[in-house]
Structure 1
Amino acid sequence: MSHHDVYARLKELDIELPSAGAPAAAYVMSVQSGNTVYLSGHLAKKDGKVWVGKLGDALTTEDGHRAARAAAIDLFATLHGNIGDLNRVTRVVKVVSLVNSTHDFVEQHLVTNGASDLIADVFGEVGRHARSAFGVAQIPLGACVEIEMVVEVN
């Protein structure tokens, strides 16, 4: 497999990693156990603030897709802060997405593609992951999307 430079790909996509966020409650943003890194749920942000709203109400599937993509970028920043070099990722194992949505909204999977597509684009083949996407009644701080990720590193 040819070497895939994650940082070069981020630059090509015009993505600048923000500084890693701080936890909003009694937890840490990531934990490494052996070669596995577990990233806590990251709330979608827009213009540096929590992206508030409910899918199927004030927000469209397209808005949710952009919010999920934004959450993925924050996950990359946290991961970079934890492991020092995103090129150490040997596999993105699992992504879990919580979508703040109305009871009749059924496009959580399309919202979550905002994160999944970017992860695969940035990490290449090792970015293809298992996934769950859930519609939930509410997310902390009223955020529209929360995403967590599990990765394997060398």
Structure 2
Amino acid sequence: MPGAIESRLAQLGVTLPDAPTPAANYVPYIRVGGMVHVSGQISSAPDGIITGKLGADMDVEAGAAAARSCAIALLAQCKAACGGDIDRLQRVVKLTGFVNSTGDFTDQPKVINGASDFLVEVLGDAGRHARSAVSAASLPFGVAVEIEAIFLVA
């Protein structure tokens, strides 16, 4: 039987995928005490990665949707770190969001809001977090967004 978080995700029409495997020589997450540090998750959709450059060929709305996809992958990694029980997640502590954007694009916070808003929608106050949203001249594979996270878990 699904727990409270997966039930809320289902209400939103979201099923957590299997946690993505690393694309290089790193681990997807590290648990240190009650904290889970999740490596950067790239923007992706069921048909592949979401590429683009904000301020050039992608608008803020599409960037926010890409950031939302990163948040889903972050939750999938957190679930894996919790042995499959996502209800052990107590709080989102911090997000660091990287936005593939042009030098004159300044709406990185609006893009990363796609992830922040989704986490609050799923977790309520436990989804509110500290955050950074920064520009990157490019990201791996040309993805639009990459986000890493720190979670507090039981």
Q: TM-score range by the shorter chain?
A: over 0.9
The reply on whether 1:65 has 2:64 as its aligned counterpart is yes
How far residue 46 of structure 1 moved from its aligned partner, in angstroms, is 2.5
Q: Which residue of 2 aligns with 1:8?
A: 7
Deviations 1:56-100 (A, max 9, x none): 001000000000001111111111111021211121100000000
* Inter-partner Cα distance in structure 2 for 1:47 and 1:91: 27
CA distance in 2 between counterparts of 1:116 and 1:32 reads 22
SS in 2 for 1:125: helix
Paired amino acid for 1:88: R
Equivalence for 1:100? 100
Q: Which residue type is aligned with residue 119 of structure 2?
A: I
Q: Give the root-mean-square deviation of aligned CA atoms.
A: 1.1
Q: State how far apart, in whole Å, the 1-side matches of 2:63 and 2:115 are.
A: 10
Alignment deviations for residues 17-70 of structure 1 (CA, whole Å, 9 cap, x no partner) = 111111011101111010000000000012341211100001000000000001
Q: Which residue of 2 aligns with 1:75?
A: 74
1:37 aligns with 2:33: no
Matched, 1:123 2:123: yes
Structure 2 contact 78–89 (Cα < 8 Å) conserved: no
Q: 2:86 is matched with which residue?
A: 86
- Unmatched tracts of structure 1, length 5 or more: none
1:108 and 1:101 map into 2 onto residues whose CA distance is 8
Q: Structure 2 regions of 5+ residues with no counterpart?
A: none
1:111-148 deviation per Cα after TM superposition (whole angstroms, max 9, x unaligned): 00000001111111111100000011011111110001
In 2, the alpha carbon distance for the partners of 1:105 and 1:46 equals: 24
Q: How many residues align?
A: 151
Structure-2 residue corresponding to 1:148: 148
> Is this contact kept in 1: 2:139–2:146, CA < 8 A?
yes
